[in-house]
Structure 1
Amino acid sequence: MSKKDSQQSEEVDLGQLFKLIGNAFDRFFKFIGNIFIGIYKVVLLLFIHIYQRFVWYAAALVLGGLIGFVIDKSSDKLYGANMFIETNFNSARQVYENLKQLHQLASVDKDTLELAKLFDISASEASKLKGFYIEPDLDENNIAEKYSTFYSRLDSISRLEMTYDRYRESLTPYDFKIHRIGVASTDKNIYKKIEKAFTDQLSGNPYLQELLEVNKLNLNLKDKVLVTQLEKTDSLVGEYLKIRISEAKKQQIPNSGTNLYMGNAESTNLIVDESKIIEKRLELENQRLKINEALVEKKNVVNILAGFPNSGYDISKWTDKKKIILPIVLFLATLLVFSMIGFAKFLKSQSETLN
């Protein structure tokens, strides 16, 4: 084959290739166009159908709206309120279990007598409790801090595998100390009535109560020890000042007078610097302050960071409003009925054609 014939053959092959590619794109765009045309025809037919039977659909919407309005008017509103708690002594598991039990009594069993007994309220008031919910109060800063602490304890191999996302996914609600508790009720004024008894029900566990008592005892004993140390330090400071005054009154003679040595003070010093004693006293005072904070922070198994408000707030969603849902349901039901009638007519016509 000559060089000229070879070039013509390659041009033909390339032309056929581009033609195939062009045909493929053409079929693809036609396919996409047919989809949109089909959707347009379906929507157009739907609007024509509704227009031809406008009275029926308008009646369905109006009737649904009226019935829904009456139902909403006669139904109780659903209110909600939140409480934020902090768990001590790894008590989160117990709190979650207790909340599950309360939710079971209120939402599933509807055991108003048991709820009334637990919260010290009447059975009619207990019947208005509809559910109890809990979830950790997530804070990305706290999660990042927990990850940093956890990551620092890992070896070099584990650090390669434990990413932040993987660590975050491994966390459970029990790993957090602060949690949000929600209570649903049809009585917006019930929350303050149940708050105290509800708090007691969160941490009902003998083991946790024993831990609480032992922790208080240990903190009080440590505080007593610190008080004794402070008294001894104050006494030492008093004696030291007396020696200072006594030495000041004496005639200053080299290497004479009373010597006072503390700790590792060098023997060449006649009097130890009193700032050491003051620093020690401040350190003891700081320890006492931390103990006082611990006594407050761990005074209970569960700390109430934010209690229930005086009254609940409306937590109903648009899907709970019958005046919105019923018109939609009746409209779709009407459409379904007419669709079934039309399909039946189509089947009948096809049957006559085949016969």
Structure 2
Amino acid sequence: MAENQSPKTQNSSDEIDLGQLFHLIGKGFNAIFRFFLRVFLYLKKNIFILIGLVILGLVIGYGLNKIISKRLKIEVIVKPQLESKNYLYDVINEVQSNISAKDSVFFKSIGIEKIDFSGLEVTISRVVEDVNSESDIKYLELLQSFENTDAISDIVRAELQNKSSFNHQITFYYKNAEFGKDFVNKILEYINSSKYYNGILEVYRSNAAYRIKEDEYLLKQVDEIISNYTNSLASKSNNTVSERIVLDNQEQVNIADIFEYKTGLIRDIETKKLELIERTEPVSIINLGQPQEEHKSFFGKNIVLIPFIFILVFFIISILLFLNKKSKTLT
């Protein structure tokens, strides 16, 4: 008898539990609905205040954007020679630090007697060049042909030096037009006044000039060898002529190697002449730009920031007032 009644009792308890569960779910949905209803009523009650705050914020933001500070700037493209890139950045940071500290003694020491600090600023950044992936792939394929040769080390070294010496842009900001140009020239002179790097450049230039002189002497000898070979070739036009040249030491040299050696000498002379032109100062000036006017907004372009701040402050005040009202009921 008791065994027959136990399943019915269990089923009725399950039905009660399910009923309580659905009741709790219903209460949860009602609570969420009431919350959204209260938020809607709150927004409806304060809609005109919120709209007024948005309009006021937009007007104030628009007005602040109209407050524009004008100053001039000169952009200078430079290229550090040797390993003077870190030196260049250190000097620019030094100059900017002295501008921030308004250290007129420092600027007098580099020849700037009367300095106008208003709007004065110096910045530096690397000039990012466009990368052509297709040309880079072709270049890598070309390098594979030099694999396991002595030339590959020279090529890699030259490429590493080239990649580590990007062009850089120094930007000078100022307000006084007459003072600005003189300031730029004095700072550039100060950058290139390093005795250490100027001493190294002098050695480089001396070595390059000596290398050119020696290469030209060797090139003259090679031209004489080729000329003698050409003359002998003309005199023995009816006979078979060897492709090798016998020198005074009885060693035979392939004529193709002679021409390749001559080409290498010519390229070396061209490279050293370019070094004499480029390496005249520790930091070469690629382009000295003309003064241009810069317009800088006082507040920036984000005019929606002020309306957002106004609305946020309004909500915070409303929450604090609500909490204060509830706290009084508890006491």
Shorter chain as denominator, the TM-score bin is 0.5 to 0.7
Query: Match of 1:298?
Result: 279
Structure 1 residue 347 corresponds to structure 2 residue 327: yes
State the secondary structure of the residue aligned to 2:292. coil
Structure 1 residue 320 corresponds to structure 2 residue 308: no
Superposition deviation, residue 280 in structure 1:
3.9
Offset from partner CA, 1:173-219 (integer Å, 9 cap, x none):
xx932254463747598987765444444454221111111111110
Superposition deviation, residue 292 in structure 1:
2.0
Gap runs ≥5 in structure 1 = 1-22, 153-174, 253-259
The answer to which structure has the higher strand fraction is 2
Matches within 5 A, 1:28-43: none
State whether residues 87 and 301 of structure 1, in contact with CA within 8 Å, keep that contact through their aligned partners in structure 2: yes
Gap runs ≥5 in structure 2 = 1-17, 148-162, 239-244
Change in 2 beyond 3 A, CA 1:282/1:41 = farther
State the secondary structure of the residue aligned to 2:86. helix
Offset from partner CA, 1:142-162 (integer Å, 9 cap, x none):
9xx9xx9xxx9xxxxxxxxxx
Query: Counterpart of 2:200 in structure 1: which amino acid?
Result: L
Superposition deviation, residue 347 in structure 1:
1.5
Find 1:329's aligned residue among 300, 309, 317.
309
Query: Match of 1:256?
Result: none
State the secondary structure of the residue aligned to 2:123. strand
State whether residues 112 and 127 of structure 1, in contact with CA within 8 Å, keep that contact through their aligned partners in structure 2: no
State whether residues 119 and 198 of structure 1, in contact with CA within 8 Å, keep that contact through their aligned partners in structure 2: no
Find 1:99's aligned residue among 73, 83, 92.
92
State whether residues 53 and 307 of structure 2, in contact with CA within 8 Å, keep that contact through their aligned partners in structure 1: yes
Change in 2 beyond 3 A, CA 1:178/1:61 = same
Whole-angstrom distance in 2 between the partners of 1:80 and 1:263: 67
Query: Counterpart of 1:104 in structure 2: which amino acid?
Result: S
Whole-angstrom distance in 2 between the partners of 1:135 and 1:288: 31
After TM superposition, the score normalised by the length of structure 1 is: 0.56
Query: Match of 1:159?
Result: none
Whole-angstrom distance in 2 between the partners of 1:324 and 1:121: 45
Matches within 5 A, 1:118-197: 123-124=115-116, 126-134=117-125, 137=128, 176-178=164-166, 180-181=168-169, 183=171, 185=173, 196-197=185-186
What RMSD over aligned residues (CA atoms) do the two structures have, in Å? 5.0
After TM superposition, the score normalised by the length of structure 2 is: 0.59
Whole-angstrom distance in 2 between the partners of 1:202 and 1:224: 32
Find 2:217's aligned residue among 228, 238, 258.
228
Change in 2 beyond 3 A, CA 1:73/1:101 = same
Query: Match of 2:3?
Result: none
Whole-angstrom distance in 2 between the partners of 1:134 and 1:283: 37
Query: Counterpart of 1:63 in structure 2: which amino acid?
Result: L
Worse-matched range after superposition: 127-136 or 283-292: 127-136
Whole-angstrom distance in 1 between the partners of 2:184 and 2:38: 59
Change in 2 beyond 3 A, CA 1:97/1:327 = same
Find 2:47's aligned residue among 54, 57, 65.
54
Superposition deviation, residue 282 in structure 1:
3.0
Change in 2 beyond 3 A, CA 1:118/1:56 = farther
Whole-angstrom distance in 2 between the partners of 1:44 and 1:263: 109
State whether residues 233 and 281 of structure 1, in contact with CA within 8 Å, keep that contact through their aligned partners in structure 2: yes
State the secondary structure of the residue aligned to 1:132. strand
Query: Match of 2:101?
Result: 109
Offset from partner CA, 1:247-271 (integer Å, 9 cap, x none):
67xxx9xxxxxxx94156569xxxx
Offset from partner CA, 1:217-273 (integer Å, 9 cap, x none):
11011111122223344455566667777x67xxx9xxxxxxx94156569xxxx98
Query: Match of 1:262?
Result: 247
Higher relative contact order (CA 8 A, sep 6+): 2
Superposition deviation, residue 104 in structure 1:
2.1
